[in-house]
Amino acid sequence: MPASVAIVGTGPSGCYLAQALLKARPDLRVDLIDRLPVPYGLVRYGVAADHQGTKAVTRQFERLFERQGARFIGNLDIGADVTLDDLRGCYDAVVLAAGLSVDRCLQIPGEDLAGVATAGEVIRALNEHPDSKALPPLGRRVVVMGNGNVAIDLVRLLAKSGEELAGTDLGEGPSAWLQSAGVEAIDIIGRSPAAQAKFDPVMVKELHRLAHVRIAVEGAGSTEDAEAQKRLDALAAIDGTTHGDRQLTFRFGLTPLAIEGQDGRVTAARFRDASGVEVTIPCDTVLTAIGFQSCTNLSRDDLLVDALDLDAGVLAAGLYATGWFRRGPRGTIPDNRTDAQVLAARILNDLGETGGKPGLPATEGLVDHAGWKRIDAAELAGARPGRCRRKIADRQTMLEIAQDR
């Protein structure tokens, strides 16, 4: 019997790892497990709807199941439906690639005011994640706290017109939410100097293509570092854009102090600049985009503390971690490919040529790849004009379609 590997999480880190393992050892049994009935995690629910080119990486991942022999096991929550110890008893190697999906909090006064939401919540709701909350009320003057790629995604979507959203997989509700608010101004606030911002320069340059915005960059400063200079160059390239009336303003070096409100609703955000002066920005909506932490039923913090070799992704004998689950919320989707190749080599060396455990037995209520393809076909067939897909956001409906009921 061939050796068996379970990968918990079917986002990019899990899929790239499965690719690397099966390319080197086509005889392996590799099962990709997801707590949702559908695969691809971050690509489906985290990548912005207007970045369909990035989402197209799923076509490459489909070949895992169609040509390379990987199995998809959906609707199985490890840590809730099956314990991690039980899973390890079924496989020769188990890899945790479940990512991080809970937004970090600012931990300042006013975070509980109406009009304050986290970017992760909004992005998941825009992508119609079955567990997402309803989209929050959106005002005309928005402050986005954070300057990573998630923040830039959000700013871009908020600033786009209806015509610019054509070809996306945005549903009717999210499309109406974006277009009905009438956002007039967005302030993008970074705690760090611009040179240390987290965004990809390409993401910032993309803002120049927006049809209806004016863009200003305040206090970008200078740097002697060549890599950081690319971020400053990107900001310089968009500064002064005058394509329309929606005002985007980048501000840096502002430490958030409090979110102020009246009658329970946000009215302003207060900061301290590098010289110690307090700065108040009037607003009716605050969206925070300052990173993520784990939300799975797996005890990530305990597993990392006790890891045998965390840099190599080895948590314990036969137990591994990759992607954001291992290194935290850093790096882009392609960065996971490099991680995967290194970890695959380590796993294959540890497995050696010995025979293996049989993997999970068949369990009622799970979704296999054929079930996912039925969901996929239903979503593609249901796309309305101007959209490439109509996502099914209800878990029970997904399961009924997957099981062909």
Q: Which of 267, 292, 317 is the last residue of a domain?
A: 292
Arithmetic mean of pLDDT over the chain: 92
% helix / strand / coil in the chain, to the nearest 5? Answer: 35, 20, 45
Whether residue 152 is found in the same domain as residue 213? yes
Over the stretch 98-122, which tens digit does the pLDDT of each residue have?
877 677 777 899 999 999 999 888 9
Calculate mean pLDDT across residues 333-358.
Answer: 88
Quote the domain boundaries for residue 171.
104-292
Within 8 A by CB and 6+ apart from 349, the residues are none
Same domain, residue pair 157 and 26: no
The token pair at 167 is 């070809």
- Asked if residue 204 and residue 245 are part of one domain, the reply reads yes
Q: 322 and 245, same structural domain?
A: no
Count of structural domains within the chain: 2
User: Is the Cβ–Cβ distance between 286 and 266 less than 8 Å?
Assistant: yes
Scanning 133-206, the segments in alpha helix (DSSP H) are 149-159, 172-180, 201-206
Based on the domain organization, do 133 and 264 belong to the same domain?
Answer: yes
Indicate if 177 and 232 belong to the same structural domain. yes
Do 265 and 383 fall into the same domain? no
Q: What is the CATH number of the domain that holds 192?
A: 3.50.50.60
Domain edge (last residue) among 292, 317, 341: 292
Q: Do both 271 and 226 map to the same domain?
A: yes
Q: Which residues are annotated as a binding site for FAD?
A: 13, 42, 78, 324, 331-333
* 124 and 90 belong to one structural domain: no
Q: pTM of the entire structure? A: 0.88
Would you state the structure tokens that stand for residue 87, as one six-digit string?
């899973």
Binding residues for NADP(+): 147-150, 331
Residue numbers in the known binding site are 13, 42, 78, 147-150, 324, 331-333
CATH label of the domain that carries residue 299: 3.40.50.720
pLDDT tens, position by position, 232-291: 999 999 999 999 999 999 999 999 999 999 999 999 999 999 899 999 999 999 999 877
How deeply is 343 buried, as exposed, middle or buried, from its count of CB atoms within 10 A (0-12, 13-18, 19+)?
Answer: buried
Question: Does residue 266 contact residue 138 with C-beta atoms inside 8 Å?
Answer: no
CA separation for the pair 386, 155 (Å, rounded): 21
pLDDT at 364: 80
Domain boundary among 257, 292, 327: 292
> Does 130 share its domain with 26?
no
Whether residues 284 and 340 fall in one domain: no
Residues 220 and 178 in one domain: yes
